[in-house]
Chains A and B, each alone.
Chain A
Amino acid sequence: MKSTNSWKLKDILMIAISAMLFGVVYLGMVYTGSYLTAILTPFGLGVLGYEPIYGIWFMAGVYTTYVIQKPGVGIIAEMLAALLEVLMGNFFGPVVFISGFIQGLGSELGFAVFKYKRFGYSSTIAAAVGCTVLSFIWTGFRSAYWTLSPALVLSIFLIRLISSILFCGFGCKLLGDALTKAGVLKAYALGQKSLNPDE
Chain B
Amino acid sequence: MSKVNPSIKAVTVLICGLFISFSYSPYLNGYVIITCLILMAGSGVKWTSAGKILIPATLAAASLFFSALFHTNPDQIAASSTPSVHNAVQLELRIYAYSALGMLFALTTDSEEFIYSLMHQLKLPPKFAYGVLAAYHLLPAMKREYASVRLAYKIKGYHLSPFSLRPVFSMLVNTMHWSENVAMAMESKGFDGDGPRSYFLIPEVRWFDKLFFIGYTGGTAVLLFLFPHFPV
Question: Do the two chains bind?
Answer: yes
Q: Decide if B13 touches A94 in the complex (CB within 8 Å).
A: yes
Q: Quick one: which of A7, A37, A147 contacts B91, CB cutoff 8 A? A: A147
User: CB-nearest residue of chain B relative to A40?
Assistant: B63
A147 to B169, alpha carbons, bound, how many Å?
Answer: 41
Q: Decide if B169 touches A91 in the complex (CB within 8 Å).
A: no
Name which of A25-33, A105-113, A115-123, A124-132 contacts chain B: A25-33
User: CB-nearest residue of chain A relative to B125?
Assistant: A7
Q: Decide if A93 touches B66 in the complex (CB within 8 Å).
A: no
CB-CB contacts of B97-129 with A at 8 A, as 1s and 0s? 011011111110001001100100000000110
> For the complex, would chain A's binding face be called helix, strand, loop or mixed by DSSP majority?
helix
User: Nearest Cβ in chain B — how far from A189, in angstroms?
Assistant: 14
Contacts of A45 in B (CB 8 A): 67
User: CB-nearest residue of chain A relative to B163?
Assistant: A29
> For the complex, would chain B's binding face be called helix, strand, loop or mixed by DSSP majority?
helix
A19 to B186, alpha carbons, bound, how many Å?
Answer: 20
Interface size on B, residues (CB 8 A): 77
Contacts of B132 in A (CB 8 A): 16, 80, 83-84, 87
User: Nearest Cβ in chain A — how far from B182, in angstroms?
Assistant: 5
Whether, in the assembled complex, B21 has its beta carbon less than 8 Å from a beta carbon of chain A, the answer is yes
Contacts of A1 in B (CB 8 A): none
User: CB-nearest residue of chain B relative to A7?
Assistant: B127
Which residues, 81 to 116 on A, are CB-close (under 8 Å) to B? 83-84, 86-95, 97-98
Contacts of B69 in A (CB 8 A): 44
